[in-house]
A and B are shown apart, each in its own frame.
Chain A
Amino acid sequence: MIGGTLLAVFLCDWMWWISIPLVASVVLYYIALPIIEWLERRGLDHSKALWVFILGLTLLAAVLGPALLSWFTTQAYLVQEKLPAVLNRINETLGSSIMGMEEEYLWMQEAEVGKKINAKLELFKEGFVESYLPNVVVYVLHWVPCMLLVPYLTFFFLKDAHRLKKLLMRGVPNAFFEKVLLLFHRLDGQVKKYFCGLMMMTLLDTVTLALGLWVLGLNFGVFGIVPSIFLGLLCAVLSWLPFIGSVVGCLVIVLVCVIQSAEPAWLVFWAVILFVSVRLLDDFLYTPMTIGRSLSVHPLVTVLMIFAGGFVGGVTGLLLVMPVLGVAMVLGEIFGQVWFDARLRARYHWGRQLRLRAAREGLSG
């Protein structure tokens, strides 16, 4: 199964322009489905419920979009203004630490570690805009067209899910049909529950982090309530990516603290304490309360798979390895239960023989 997952990750990386939008659309489909089903239970038919949902989403984007855009612009301006000072501060702290170590260890002094690191940092500071920014912009731009597929695919998944399922089931041989349909329904139900739990957990994470950041912000005179909510939501969504997401989330918070505050050391300290506390709450309280442990993969396997996915498929592999592992486990379970049922296999072979016989009838004249 692990080999199959890595092969699938390799193929997904090769066809990243379709595999990433496809996975993102399936995730969004499961996130949006409970809302549409809730609307349907209120008496709207499926099409109307879908359009009401899209209208609601558009209105939300129209209301929140300008506020978030303005916050982003301010942050980008602050980054541009404060980044050289932040880099200098890092340079100074690193420099003094390395100098201390060089005084202690002769081999470091001989290797001129401090001098080399300083040279690298200077090069990064001077050449950042020329060397890295165009690459970042090109990288972001080449993702834009394929990400435009995401809302399009999600819309059709939401609109025609039953028809797509029917189409898939049409390819299943008669002997296995009922069993596959039964397993498919059970797994579909489990995935729905998983995503409902994930949404609840994201909400709890967002509220806890936002409250914590807001309180910290009051003490240090930095973030207001809206940036706190936004940062909380961003970190909660990033934590969907196991392990790596949490690290990136923590780095984002640290970066914002450093940029926002004149004396960031204590703010960063308390923000990291807050972040670690929320992660602990998440692991020991929120996750068992919401998602449960039924779908979880062993942490060791998760970490190894993330590294293997990154090695096989780079950034695409990092993003896709866990969803692909989930799909591989589901397919493996269905295949295992269906194919290793001797009676079903016998019925399948019997059905094939009958079909061949029926096809041959009348050929001899």
Chain B
Amino acid sequence: MSLFSYREDELSAELTLLREVPLFSTLKRRDLRVLEPILHERSYVHDEVIFEEGDEGLGMYVVLEGQVRIARKGLIGSKEVTRLGPGQFFGELSLLDGGPRSASAVATDSCRLFGFFRPEFLEILEKHEKIGAKISFQLAKLTTMRLRQSIQGAQINGSL
């Protein structure tokens, strides 16, 4: 393999799948190759905890396979907020502010995730501004979309 160029036909199955994820959908193959060494693939079994509410957050996860339940602590036990499937992502707030986790994530199925973490994201922003800008823009767009959905949900429930 040439040291100065990337071979287009060698994109791994995981990276091909990653192109389907809205967050990375605007990235070119070449950009995905830059991301490949910094994405951590993790496997979880049914009921295994991915992170807990209040944990020191480090980054976000993209679901490659399986399902993940997002839940928040209530007065009586925990309350499920949503379920996420392949192509969806969670934990993005910690990627942006590095703050504590606002909810818990548990695998409801055997699942495979890609972890994308803050220190490496900051490195991308510093060294590869274009890729960083594309991801940041998509992240802002998708977070805004989620915010609008929750505002609409709250309006329907009458809490706003």
Give the CA-CA distance A51 to B3 in the complex, in Å: 9
A→B interface (CB under 8 Å): 37, 40-41, 45, 47-48, 51, 160, 162-163, 166, 169-170, 174-175, 177-179, 181-182, 185, 189, 343, 347, 350-351, 354-355, 358
Known contacts A166-B40, A181-B117, A354 near B46 by CB under 8 Å: yes
Known contacts A354-B45, A354-B47, A358-B110, A169 near B4 by CB under 8 Å: no
**Residues of B close to A177: CB separation below 8 A:** 40, 42, 115
- Which of A41, A163, A343, A351 is within 8 Å of B37, CB to CB? A163
B→A interface (CB under 8 Å): 3-4, 34, 37-38, 40-52, 55-56, 58-59, 110, 115, 117, 119-120, 126-127
Distance (whole angstroms) from the CB of B24 to the closest CB of chain A: 17
Known contacts A181-B58, A181-B117, A174 near B50 by CB under 8 Å: yes
**Residues of B close to A160: CB separation below 8 A:** 37
**Residues of A close to B42: CB separation below 8 A:** 174, 177
- Which of B37, B117, B127 is within 8 Å of A37, CB to CB? B127
Give the CA-CA distance A186 to B120 in the complex, in Å: 12
Distance (whole angstroms) from the CB of A190 to the closest CB of chain B: 13
Distance (whole angstroms) from the CB of A353 to the closest CB of chain B: 10
**Residues of B close to A354: CB separation below 8 A:** 45-48
Q: Is the CB of B110 within 8 A of A166?
A: no
**Residues of B close to A41: CB separation below 8 A:** 126-127
Can you list 7 A-B contacts with CB-CB less than 8 angstroms, sorted by A residue number?
A177-B40, A177-B42, A181-B117, A350-B49, A354-B45, A355-B48, A358-B110
- Which of A163, A174, A189 is within 8 Å of B44, CB to CB? A174
Q: Which residue of A lies closest to B51 (CB)?
A: A178
Known contacts A166-B40, A181-B58, A182-B58, A351 near B127 by CB under 8 Å: no
**Residues of B close to A178: CB separation below 8 A:** 51, 55-56, 58-59, 115
